[in-house]
Chains A and B, each alone.
Chain A
Amino acid sequence: MKTIRHTATLFYYDGPQVFEARDAIGGHYVAVMVEPQGEQDRYLVAGVAPERLRQFRSGTLDLRSLLVEARGQEWYLAMTADGLDQPLVLVPQQTLLMESGLLPDEGFVLHDRPAEDLALKEARERNNLVLEIAVDPPESAEEHRIRVGTLVGLLGHVQTMVKHAYGAALRDLSLDTRRAIDRSDAHLLDVVIPAASGSFRVVLEGAKSPDLLGQNELARALGRVDVLFEMASDPQQALAAVKANSGHLAGAYLRLLRFLVKHQMGLRYAWAEPSFTKPNCRAITEAEAGPLVSALSGVSNLGSESVELVGALEKADVVSGAWRIATPEGTYSGEIKPGGPSLEGLRLGSGYRFSCIEEIEEVEGTGREQRTLYLIEHRPA
């Protein structure tokens, strides 16, 4: 008994109408909704060659042609009553697919115009969000070359900025919407083309598949990043935009800019989802990054975020200012900045509300982040 699993929706209208799927050994399939039978959705399913599926995704092959080329002329029907999270059992059909009366009409193509841009082309072919970043470090002036440390640092800074942009975007959503988003996997982006031709370009893809509607949650994050780069040529306007996003995202942005200045390069990026007609593109030159770093460096607390902790005090060192508090979400440790409140008189085991500022510093040379919580106020909980 052959089964397939839904992997990506290609066309959605009151539910997935066309989707792609994989079987247990990685074979590719396309499923098209046909007339439901009772309460059950019914899909016409055919195995397809990966290259032809890629062409369909990119808009250069129509759905009917893709299906009639099915491997060995085999086709199936699959029914589902419980949603597409369960494996679909394929029932082989004996009649010819061409005579089934279930094939879509000619002309169903996913995109009405070809993608001219790499990010959009890749987004369509991969059916996922794609981010392309390009830099021109000095070593790339005469050949396709980039220092290992520069590449590693660049990817680390970009990934960190996207991570904080994602966190900031999620905080703006309602609790219910946040709960509905699967965040079980912390990886946000994978490198899929490590060195595209042209300037030194790297293509990254959302680590998670898009939802049934074809959207990737990372789009929320990249929308935030776009805002930061929007006014890069005007330090004052850029300053306002970054201040409006103060917190870890702004801190990560500033660290990326410092990195660019240090390595004497600008940055261009483009990102797209499969349904886009053109990618979102932003850029900052080396000449623009310098003044912006100067302007942003003068803003106090640009990269810090407020954190409220409520729980039982586990440690309070009056001399060093170190403390630890156990909350329902976990145990947190921190310290007190010079001039901050004293820990004197606090009782271990008692409940307190700690108002803190969280600051992130880059561990020099590693690209890793070190978070520190500074207590600014405490009171009994």
Chain B
Amino acid sequence: MSYRELLPEGCPPDTAEEIAASREVFRLVRGNPPTQSDFRSQRAERPGRVFLGVTECQACGLSVFAERTELEAKALKLQHLKNRLICRVELVAGAGRIQQTGQRSHHTWWPLAAFHILAHCGVETV
């Protein structure tokens, strides 16, 4: 299996769940329609940065929320994120692995290279 981004050894962790059944998650995107750049990890955005306090593996994953309200009630209240749009992503078998990390609804998602993200996402109307 090859992942969308280069991951460190042992990443995703054993405890991450392989996505086998369809589920929906939510992520912020910059425009409609979303682009590939909306699904770049922190590591891809900043190759030289040290991310202390989170593992390198997590820095190579994408933040997604299981509940849309978490983005509405928190992320979209912040000035630098408030102009973003909520994108619903349908994860199906072959989408990669996912793990709940941090806040209750927050998950880290490691997409597989073969998973066509843009074909599985749509911007939500607020």
Q: Which 8 A-B pairs have the closest CB atoms?
A: A176-B10, A212-B53, A213-B102, A174-B10, A85-B52, A108-B77, A275-B104, A105-B77
CB closest residue in chain B, given A181: B55
Q: How many residues of B contact A (CB 8 A)?
A: 39
Provide a sorted-by-A list of 20 A–B residue pairs whose CB atoms are within 8 angstroms: A11-B74, A12-B102, A12-B106, A32-B78, A33-B80, A105-B77, A109-B73, A173-B14, A176-B8, A176-B10, A176-B57, A180-B57, A211-B54, A213-B101, A213-B102, A213-B106, A214-B103, A215-B102, A275-B103, A275-B104
A residues contacting B by CB (< 8 A) are 6, 9, 11-18, 32-36, 39, 63, 81-85, 101-109, 112, 172-177, 180, 211-215, 275-277
Question: In the bound complex, do residue A213 and residue B78 qualify as a contact, i.e. CB atoms below 8 Å apart?
Answer: no
Task: Using A12-B63, A174-B13 as known contacts, say yes or no to A83 and B50 having CB atoms under 8 A apart.
Answer: yes
Instruction: Kindly provide the distance from the CB of A266 to the nearest chain B CB, expressed in whole angstroms.
Output: 30
CB closest residue in chain A, given B65: A13
CB closest residue in chain A, given B10: A176
Chain B residues whose CB sits within 8 angstroms of the CB of A6 once the complex forms? 53
Give the docked Cα–Cα distance between A212 and B59 (Å).
11
Give the docked Cα–Cα distance between A180 and B126 (Å).
39
Q: Give the dominant DSSP class at A's interface.
A: loop
Instruction: Kindly provide the distance from the CB of A243 to the nearest chain B CB, expressed in whole angstroms.
Output: 22
B residues contacting A by CB (< 8 A) are 8-11, 13-15, 28, 41-42, 46, 49-58, 62-63, 69, 73-82, 101-104, 106
Task: Using A12-B63, A85-B53, A112-B73 as known contacts, say yes or no to A213 and B13 having CB atoms under 8 A apart.
Answer: no
Question: In the bound complex, do residue A211 and residue B53 qualify as a contact, i.e. CB atoms below 8 Å apart?
Answer: yes
CB closest residue in chain A, given B41: A14
- Which of B14, B52, B53 gathers the greatest number of chain A CB atoms within 10 Å? B53
Question: In the bound complex, do residue A174 and residue B102 qualify as a contact, i.e. CB atoms below 8 Å apart?
Answer: no
Chain A residues whose CB sits within 8 angstroms of the CB of B13 once the complex forms? 173-174, 177
List 9 additional contacts besides A106-B77, A108-B74; criterion CB under 8 Å.
A12-B101, A35-B79, A35-B80, A82-B50, A101-B79, A107-B73, A177-B14, A213-B101, A214-B102
Task: Using A12-B103, A12-B106, A84-B53 as known contacts, say yes or no to A108 and B14 having CB atoms under 8 A apart.
Answer: no
Question: In the bound complex, do residue A177 and residue B77 qualify as a contact, i.e. CB atoms below 8 Å apart?
Answer: no
- Which of B10, B41, B42, B56 gathers the greatest number of chain A CB atoms within 10 Å? B10
- Checking A15, A105, A211 against B42 with a beta-carbon cut-off of 8 angstroms, the contacting residue is A15
Chain B residues whose CB sits within 8 angstroms of the CB of A33 once the complex forms? 78, 80
Question: In the bound complex, do residue B46 and residue A39 qualify as a contact, i.e. CB atoms below 8 Å apart?
Answer: yes
Give the docked Cα–Cα distance between A85 and B52 (Å).
6
CB closest residue in chain B, given A14: B63
Give the docked Cα–Cα distance between A34 and B46 (Å).
17
Instruction: Kindly provide the distance from the CB of B119 to the nearest chain A CB, expressed in whole angstroms.
Output: 22
Chain B residues whose CB sits within 8 angstroms of the CB of A109 once the complex forms? 73
Give the docked Cα–Cα distance between A103 and B82 (Å).
11
Question: In the bound complex, do residue A83 and residue B106 qualify as a contact, i.e. CB atoms below 8 Å apart?
Answer: no
Question: In the bound complex, do residue A17 and residue B75 qualify as a contact, i.e. CB atoms below 8 Å apart?
Answer: yes
